[in-house]
Amino acid sequence: MEILKRAWAEVHLDRLRANVENYQNCLGSETGKTQLMCVVKADCYGHGSPACSLYLQEEAGIRWFAVSNLNEALELRESGITGEILILGYTPPEYAGVLSENNIIQAATDLEYAQELSSCADNCAGKPVRVHIKLDTGMSRLGLRFSSPDEYCEQILSIASLENISAEGLFTHLSSADSMDSESVEFTKEQIKLFDSVCNKAQKLCPQLKERHFMNSAGGVFYNSSKATLARLGIIMYGLTPDRELKLPFELHPVMELKAVVSQVKYLEKGASVSYGRTFTAPGRIKTATVAAGYADGVPRLLSNKGEVLIGGKKAPIIGRVCMDQLIADVTGIDVRPGDVAVIIGSDGANTVTADDIAEKCSTIGYEIVCGITKRVPRVYLK
C-alpha cells in the first residue's frame, strides 16, 4: 500500500536483528542453552507487532514471544506466529478455552486464579491450559508472594496438580536490574537468589516445570545465568536503553525513525507570536517551517519550546506549543522548502535525535515515547 507522505515511521528490521544478535552474544557461551523470548507486547513497543514478530520468527529464528494480553496473542497467531506465546498479564478465566485452542501459555499469578482457569477449562475437549507460574520476588506487582521457599513450593505444587492445568515453567521479574547503585544491585541479587532457591526445590518436586526465566533486557546483560532456560528481551531489542545512565557493552541500533513533511515555510517579523497560548514570541525576523506531525501522532506536547527536529541535516528548535496535528520549527538559516522531510526521531546528516533524547527532555523514558507513536502514523518496514 502506498503511504500518504505526511507523517510516517520507518522501522529498520536489519537493526532489530542486529540488536537481537548483540544481546545473544552478551548472554555468553555459558548460557548457550538459554533461548530468547522476544517481548512484543504493546504492538512491539509501537514498532508494529505482526511485521516485526514475523521477521523475528522467519529471519532471526525466534521461537518464544511474550505479550501483555489475549488480544495481542491472538493477533500473533492470526499473523502467522507458530512459536510459543506467553501472556504476561491477565486473561479473564472464562477465556480458558481460547487459550487452549490457540496453544497460548498464560501466566498463573496465584492459586485462586489458576483454580478459576481450571474450572473454566472443563469444556476444552481434554486440552489443558498451559501456564507459567509467576513468582513475586520483590516487584510487588503480579505473582505468588511468600516469606520462604517452602511456602512458594506449596502453592506451586497446588497449582501444578490442578485438573485442566499444564504447569510448564516458573518466572519472575527484576525490578531494578537497570540500576547500578549498590542498593539496587544487592536487591536484584536477592531477588535472583530467592527465585533460584524456589525453582531448585519446585523443579525437583515437579519435573514438568522445565522453563525458568527471570532475565529482562538489563538482567540478561548484567545478571545472565546458565540456570535460565529463557531470557526475555524487551527494550534493548528496539535499540533503546533500559535506563539512559546505563552503559551497555555493545552498540544499540535504534530501530524506528519518525519523519514528517514540511507543509509550509514562512517568515515572521519581530514580536510575532507562535501557536496556542502565544508562548513564543519572535525575537527578530525568523524563518519558520510548519511540520505535519503533532501530539496526535505521538510527538509529546512537552517538547513545546524545548524540543528540536532535524531538517536538511541541521537542528531546528521547536517553537511554540506542539499542536494536535502540527508543530512549528525555527529554520532560520536552513535551506528548506515545503515537501522537505523533517526527522523527529532518527538521523539526518551528522545529527541524531533518539527516543531516549526526547524522553530526557520530557522527564520520562524512551519506552513511553515509542509506545506513544499512534496508529494513524503508518509504519514502513525496511531491510
- Which pLDDT score, from 0 to 100, does residue 125 have? 67
Q: What are the residues whose beta carbons fall under 8 Å from the beta carbon of 9, sequence distance 6 or more?
A: 47, 256, 257, 258, 259, 373, 377, 378, 379, 380
pLDDT at 5 over 90: no
CA 63 to centroid of chain Cα atoms? 18
- Mean of pLDDT over the chain: 95
What's the rounded Cα separation, in Å, for the pair 262 and 338? 5
Q: Which residue bears the cell 501466566?
A: 107
- Which pLDDT score, from 0 to 100, does residue 31 have? 47
DSSP code of 32? T
Q: How many CB atoms lie within 10 A of CB 287?
A: 16
Residue (of 311, 308, 293, 318) closest to 374 by Cα position: 293
pLDDT at 180 over 60: yes
Tens of pLDDT, residues 300-359: 999 999 999 999 999 999 999 999 999 999 999 999 999 999 999 999 999 999 999 999
- Which pLDDT score, from 0 to 100, does residue 74 have? 98
| Cell (9 digits) for 81 | 506466529
Domain positions in the chain: 13-238, 256-353
Helices 111-120, 149-160: crossing angle, 10 deg rounding? 0
Task: Answer yes or no: 223 catalytic.
Answer: no
Q: How confident is the model at residue 1 (pLDDT cuts 50, 70, 90)?
A: very low
Q: What are the residues whose beta carbons fall under 8 Å from the beta carbon of 201, sequence distance 6 or more?
A: 149, 150, 152, 153
3-state secondary structure of 95: helix
Q: What is the mean pLDDT of the segment spanning 138-144?
A: 95
What's the rounded Cα separation, in Å, for the pair 138 and 135? 9
CATH number of 256-353: 2.40.37.10
Single pTM value for the model: 0.95
Task: Answer yes or no: 381 catalytic.
Answer: no
Q: How confident is the model at residue 29 (pLDDT cuts 50, 70, 90)?
A: low
- Which pLDDT score, from 0 to 100, does residue 244 have? 85
| Cell (9 digits) for 43 | 504492538
Residue (of 76, 71, 95, 92) closest to 38 by Cα position: 76
- Which pLDDT score, from 0 to 100, does residue 2 have? 63
Q: How confident is the model at residue 51 (pLDDT cuts 50, 70, 90)?
A: very high
| Catalytically annotated residue among 5, 204, 276, 306 | 276
13-238 is a CATH 3.20.20.10 domain: yes
Q: Which helix (H) or strand (E) holds 288?
A: strand 286-291
Residue 352: strand pairing partners = 347
Q: How many CB atoms lie within 10 A of CB 274?
A: 21
What's the rounded Cα separation, in Å, for the pair 232 and 123? 32
Tens of pLDDT, residues 199-245: 999 999 999 999 999 999 999 999 999 999 999 999 999 999 998 88
What's the rounded Cα separation, in Å, for the pair 284 and 297? 31
| Catalytically annotated residue among 41, 45, 113, 367 | 41
What's the rounded Cα separation, in Å, for the pair 377 and 374? 6
Tens of pLDDT, residues 271-299: 999 999 999 999 999 999 999 999 999 99
- Alpha-helix residue ranges (DSSP H) falling in the chain: 13-27, 41-45, 49-59, 70-79, 96-101, 111-120, 149-160, 182-205, 217-222, 355-361, 366-371
CA torsion 139-145-151-156 (nearest 10°) is -90
Q: What are the residues whose beta carbons fall under 8 Å from the beta carbon of 135, sequence distance 6 or more?
A: 143, 144, 152, 170, 171, 172, 195, 198
Residue (of 315, 383, 303) closest to 346 by Cα position: 315
